[in-house]
Amino acid sequence: QAHVLLSTPGQTPQVLCSCLALLGQEAKEQAHVLLSTPGQTPQVLCSCLALLGQEAKEQAHVLLSTPGQTPEVLCSCLALLGQEAKEQAHVLLSTPGQTPEVLCSCLNLLGEEAKIEAKEKIASWAETHPYVLSQCFAIADDTPEAQKAAEEILLRWQVGKKLDSAHKIVALQAPFNTELRQQMALQVLDNWHSSYRPLVASALTAFWNEPDAVTIYCRQILKRWYKDIEYYHHNKRKFGKRDDEYIIKALANPSLRRQAQAAARRMLETEANSPGFLTPRLHQRALEITQGKFPSWTEKEEEETEPLTIPQMAVLRPPKPPKSKRRV
């Protein structure tokens, strides 16, 4: 019946996508036909591209060059074509009106080759979407344009002007050692308990060459990691994707090796008792620390990896959060 439905005109996008998913490789011929048929919805086009993969390269090139495509279709084509889509990615970056999703896909594809476009967007940082700006800063690195923009953001923050958290994050992460950067980072860390957690991680990053200056905050984070994660699990609907980078950064502090190993052992015990309590990334880091491999304090952290297989552990009670609220 799925083959019949795919060959019958007038089907809804939901039906077409369901049939493609059901038939898989058996639907390749129909997928090619659908891709070449004008008027298909983005949902159907993306399903066809995902099914055909490399076999849809020709159609993907056509779609990228055809005006009016939705962000979903453009991003799917860029992901499918990879390095073959560099020319189109440059064009899209220079075309006004592109969505943040498309711009981020182009920047991710081009990397260092998009440095000129990245610097242009950084120069007008107030008009650039925060998530696009973050990728632009990563590409621009320590260029004068990036330094100027970071300083402007920090100055606006200092005088109390409203800024998106993402703007603050990129300014703190920018590799420029200034007194203002550390001043604003300390402002975050002094109130880290109630601060946006990715912002806390960025504030710690601002002291990449002075870990001792933030040891007190890292120690506090390691003492309440369990309470923080437990709070997240009890309030999942209030949060998006959980970000444990601030905990990982605290584990990396070179002055807290003993405390980090103790915390890592408790994390693994908790995970053994309550699977899924830790994110895969934090689980992986905790396992490595118990094996004597610590995250780098000065270098950019690696991308998320799957947790390693660990021996079966006895079921233990998760550690209780510390009772004392006294600052250490």
Q: List, for residues 40-96, the tens digit of each pLDDT value.
A: 899 999 999 999 999 999 989 999 888 888 999 999 999 999 999 999 999 999 888
Q: Where are the domains of the chain?
A: 1-81, 207-328
In the chain, at which residue ranges do the beta strands (DSSP E only) sit? Answer: none
pLDDT at 235: 85
CB distance 78 to 57 below 8 Å: no
- Residue 26, H or E segment: none
> Does the global pTM surpass 0.85?
no
Residue with tokens 């402002």: 187
CB distance 232 to 239 below 8 Å: yes
How high is the mean pLDDT of the chain?
Answer: 87
Amino acid at 298: T
Amino acid at 22: L
Residue with tokens 């591209």: 49
Per-residue model confidence as pLDDT tens digits over 234-264:
887 777 778 899 999 999 999 999 999 999 9
Residue with tokens 């007190």: 216
* Phi/psi of residue 175, nearest 5 degrees: -80, 55
Q: Which of 180, 228, 171, 229 lies closest to 205, judged by CA?
A: 171
Q: Give the pLDDT mean for 181-194.
A: 95
Q: Is the pLDDT of residue 317 over 60?
A: no
* Phi/psi of residue 301, nearest 5 degrees: -65, 150
3-state secondary structure of 2: helix
Q: Is the pLDDT of residue 172 over 60?
A: yes
Task: Please state, in angstroms and rounded to a whole number, the distance separating the CA atoms of residues 216 and 195.
Answer: 16
**Cα atoms in the 13 Å half-sphere on the side-chain side of 186:** 12
- Structure token pair of residue 120: 């242009």
Task: Please state, in angstroms and rounded to a whole number, the distance separating the CA atoms of residues 24 and 32.
Answer: 13
